[in-house]
Structure 1
Amino acid sequence: MRLKALDIFHLRIPFLLPVKHSLAVRERSESLVVRVKTESGLSGYGEGTPRGYVTGESISENITFFKKSLIPMLAGHIFPDPLSLREFLDALSAQGGAHKNPSAVCALETALLDAAGKAWRQSVSEVLGFECKKGNLTYSAVVSMLSLDTFQTYLHMVKQREMKFLKLKVGNESDLVRLELARDVLGNDIDIRVDANCAWTADEAIQKIEEMKRYGISAVEQPVAKEDFKGLKKISESTDVPIIADESLCSVADARRLAEMKACEIFDIRLSKCGGFRNASKILEIGRKTGIRAMLGSHVGETGILSAAGRHFAQCFDDLVYIEGSFSSLLLKEDVIQENLVFGKGGIAPSLKGPGLGITVREDVLKLYAVQQITFQKL
C-alpha cells in the first residue's frame, strides 16, 4: 500500500442537546478527521477529538504537528504488509511531539488502518494482529448534568432501552438528588457509576463517595484534578468503591505512573486521548500486569468514524469492565457515516467485520460540516 494524498477536515457538528459536566459545556462536536488516499484509489478515514481540558491539545496544534512532523514522516513510505504498517505505527507513537498531539496520532493511525484493511481485505482488528473475541458488545448509557425535568426524561429513555450500565455526571449540589431519582426510576438491577470530571479535592471526594454509597454506585471516575495522582491514590486507599482514572490517563507514561503508585483500580482508555490503538493496547497490558482493570471510554461528540474504531478495539478484549460510545445519532445533528452504530436494547451492539473499519463515510456530510480542509498531495 502506498499513499497518494491526505486530507484533514476540521469538523463542527451541532448537538441535539448541550452536554454538560464539571469541566465544560459543549453544544457541538469538535473533531479532526483524516482521509488518506492510496495509489490504487482506496480511501481510509480516521478521527481525533482534541480536548484541551483533557490532553492540553487543540485542533490548530494538531494541524501544525501534521505539517511539521507527520506529513514528512509519511513521504514516500510504502506498506507491503501488516507487519510493516504496525512497525510504522509504533514509530509514529514515538515521534517527537506525539505525546502532545494524541488526537492527531489517533486520527492518522486509524485512517492508515482503515485504508490498509480495505487494501488487504482485512478488518482493522486483523491488520493490528488482534483476535476478535466478541460477537456482541454491551454499551453503557451516559447522562450528563441536565435540568431535573430533562434528567428524568433521559432516565426513562434509559429504562425503555433496558440498559444494564449507566454513567452519571456528578459534581454539583444536586448529585444525591439525581442518584436518588435514578434509583427510583431504574431500580437496583442496573449498574450505576458516577463521573466527577475533576470536580473535587481528595478530601471532598472521600466524603462525597461515602454519601453516594447508599445508592449502590459501582465506581467513581476522575474525582480530582487530572494532575492530582496523589489525590487519586489517597481516595483509592480510603474507599472500597473502585476509582477510575480518566483525565489522569492520557499516555503510556501516565499508565505506568498510576500503576506504580497504585492510584486507581480501573483505567479509562479512550483511543483519541491515548494516541490510538497501539498505545491503548499497551496501556491495557500495563493494567493486566499490575491488577488494574480497564474500560473503553468515548469522547463527547465523536462521529461514527471514532465510534467504529472504538468498537474494533473493544471487540478484541473480553476483559473490559465497561464500554462507552456509539452515541452518534443520539447526540449529533447528523453523522458522517451511512451505518447506524447506535446500540440497541440492553446496550447490545454487534461487532464490526471490516474490511477496514467496516463503515461508509458520507463525503457530502463530511464537507458540509468541515470549517476547514487541508490537502497534502504527492505523498
Structure 2
Amino acid sequence: MKIKDLKIFSLNVPLKKEFKTSLRTVKTAAETIIKIETDTGQVGFGEAPPTAVITGDTNQSIRGIIKNKIKPLLIDEEIENIEKIHFLIEESAVNNNSAKAAVEMAVYDLFAQKLGVPLYKILGGYQNKLVSDLSISVNSPAEMKEDALQAVKDGYQVLKLKVGKGYQKDLERFRAVRKAVGDQIKIRLDANQGWQPKEAVSIIKTMEAENLNPELIEQPVKAADYEGLKFVRDNVLTPVMADESLFSAQDCLRLLKMQACDLINIKLMKAGGIYNALKINAIAEAYGIEVMLGSMLEAKVSVTAAAHLAAAKKNITRLDLDAPLYLAEDPVVGGMIINGPEISFPAKNGLGIEDIYNLIEVV
C-alpha cells in the first residue's frame, strides 16, 4: 500500500456556546483536515486545530508546512514503513507539531486498515472502552455552577473546571461548583498557566483547608516556569499536572528528573503525533507517573486518534477527550462513539472514519 496523494481541507463548525479559558475565547472550531489516498483506494484521515496560544500553529502555517514540506516527502512511500515515515515527517521542519500530528495519524489510520484491525489494537490494545471528564468553561461562579450541574445530570462523574482568571475569583468558582455537585464528583482544576507560583500555593492550600478536595491542579503556572511548577508541587498536597510545559520526550525527562509534577498531560498536537506520544508515555511509565490524554478544541477526527492511543496503554489513566461535544454539529461519519462520558469504538479498521461532510479543499 503506497501513498499516492495527500489532500488538504478546511472544516469550520460553530460551537454550541463560547468556550473560554485563561488563554482564549473560541466561537468556531476552524480545523485543517487531511486525506491521504493510497494506490489501493483506501483513505486515511487526519486533523489539526490552530491553537496559536499554545502550540504556535495557525491554519495557514499548518497547511503550508503540510503542502510544501511534508507531502513531497511521502508520495510513493509504503504505508507500513512507520518508522521511516515518522522521521520523514519529524525532520521535514522544526516544530510545527500540529501539522505533523495530522499527517501521522492519517498514516497510522491506513496502517491499521492494512492490518485489518482498529488502531488501538496495534498500539497496545489494553482496553476498548473509556471514560472522559467534561470541561467547564471559565465564567462567573453562577454560570459555572449551572454548567456543572448539567454535566452531572448528563452522567459525568469527573469535571474539569477551567480557571486561571483571577485566583481569588477562582476560589469562588470552585466553591460554587463543589457546593452544587457535592463531594462525590471528582473535580480537576485547569489554570492554563493563569497563576503565579505563590498565588497557586496560596489558593491550593486554601482549597485543601476548606476540604474542597480537588483531584488535581493542571498547569498552574507559565509553561516555561519549570522551577515555579516544582515550587507549587513541593508546597501542596494536591497532585500537580504538567500540560503546556510538556511537548516533547525531552520535556518529559526534564520535568520528571526535577520532580516538578505528579502527573502529565499528553496531547497529540503538542507531541507532534502518536509516535512521539508513545515515547512520552513510556518515559512517564518508567518514572511511575500516570498520564492524562487530552485534546485541544478539535473535531472528532483527531480526538478519535487520541482515544485510540488512550485505549492502547494502561498507563494512560485519565481522559479529557470531550472536545467534539462542544461543536454544534458533528460532520464526521464514523470514528469514536460518544455516549455521555463513555467512549467506545465501532467494529471498523483504523480510526473507523468513513467520511467527513462540509469540507472545502485547500489548493
Q: The TM-score by the shorter chain falls in which range? A: over 0.9
Match of 2:362 among 367, 370, 373: 373
1:265 has 2:262 as partner:
yes
Normalised by the length of structure 1, the TM-score is 0.89
Kept in 2: contact 1:123–1:354 (CA 8 A): yes
Kept in 1: contact 2:7–2:36 (CA 8 A): yes
d(CA) in 2 for partners of 1:144, 1:61: 27
Residue of structure 2 equivalent to 1:190: 185
Match of 1:289 among 283, 286, 291: 286
Residue of structure 1 equivalent to 2:163: 170
Residue of structure 2 equivalent to 1:139: 132
Kept in 2: contact 1:50–1:273 (CA 8 A): no
| 3-state SS of paired residue (2:139) | coil
Match of 2:355 among 361, 368, 371: 361
Kept in 1: contact 2:337–2:346 (CA 8 A): no
1:147-198 deviation digits (Å, cap 9, x = unpaired): 4443233122122123221110112242122212222221111111100011
d(CA) in 2 for partners of 1:208, 1:36: 48
Aligned partner letter, 1:348:
E
Kept in 2: contact 1:308–1:352 (CA 8 A): no
Residue of structure 2 equivalent to 1:253: 250
d(CA) in 2 for partners of 1:323, 1:196: 17
Aligned partner letter, 2:233:
S
Aligned partner letter, 1:318:
K
d(CA) in 2 for partners of 1:65, 1:366: 19
Residue of structure 1 equivalent to 2:175: 180
d(CA) in 1 for partners of 2:337, 2:36: 26
Kept in 1: contact 2:191–2:217 (CA 8 A): yes
Deviation at 1:20, TM superposition (A): 0.7
| 3-state SS of paired residue (2:16) | strand
Paired residues for 1:24-35 under 5 Å: 24-35=24-35
Deviation at 1:294, TM superposition (A): 0.8
Deviation at 1:277, TM superposition (A): 0.8
d(CA) in 1 for partners of 2:88, 2:97: 10
Paired residues for 1:306-317 under 5 Å: 306-317=302-313
d(CA) in 2 for partners of 1:297, 1:219: 14
Match of 1:221 among 210, 213, 218: 218
Aligned partner letter, 1:350:
S
Kept in 2: contact 1:236–1:243 (CA 8 A): yes
Match of 1:349 among 338, 343, 349: 343
d(CA) in 2 for partners of 1:349, 1:317: 15
d(CA) in 2 for partners of 1:293, 1:155: 26
Kept in 2: contact 1:123–1:357 (CA 8 A): yes
Greater RCO structure (CA 8 Å; 6+ sep): 1
User: After the TM superposition, which of the residue ranges 38-47 and 70-79 deviates more from structure 2?
Assistant: 70-79
| Structure 1: gaps (5+ residues) | 375-379
Kept in 1: contact 2:119–2:351 (CA 8 A): yes
Residue of structure 1 equivalent to 2:100: 105
Normalised by the length of structure 2, the TM-score is 0.93
User: After the TM superposition, which of the residue ranges 19-28 and 130-139 deviates more from structure 2?
Assistant: 130-139
Residue of structure 2 equivalent to 1:244: 241
1:88 has 2:84 as partner:
yes
Deviation at 1:122, TM superposition (A): 2.3
Deviation at 1:290, TM superposition (A): 1.7
Aligned length: 359
d(CA) in 2 for partners of 1:133, 1:352: 16
Paired residues for 1:298-337 under 5 Å: 298-300=295-297, 302-328=298-324, 330-337=325-332
1:50 has 2:53 as partner:
no
1:278-333 deviation digits (Å, cap 9, x = unpaired): 11110011111122221111112x111112111101111123231011442x3112
RMSD between superposed Cα atoms in Å: 1.9
Kept in 2: contact 1:295–1:322 (CA 8 A): yes
Deviation at 1:248, TM superposition (A): 0.7
d(CA) in 2 for partners of 1:120, 1:320: 24
d(CA) in 1 for partners of 2:354, 2:143: 33
Aligned partner letter, 1:76:
D
Q: 1:338/1:150 Cα in 2 relative to 1: closer, same or farther (>3 Å)? A: farther
d(CA) in 2 for partners of 1:4, 1:93: 16
1:22-49 deviation digits (Å, cap 9, x = unpaired): 1111111132211111122211101122
Q: 1:244/1:72 Cα in 2 relative to 1: closer, same or farther (>3 Å)? A: same
Paired residues for 1:55-74 under 5 Å: 55-74=55-74
Deviation at 1:93, TM superposition (A): 5.3
| Structure 2: gaps (5+ residues) | none
Residue of structure 2 equivalent to 1:377: none
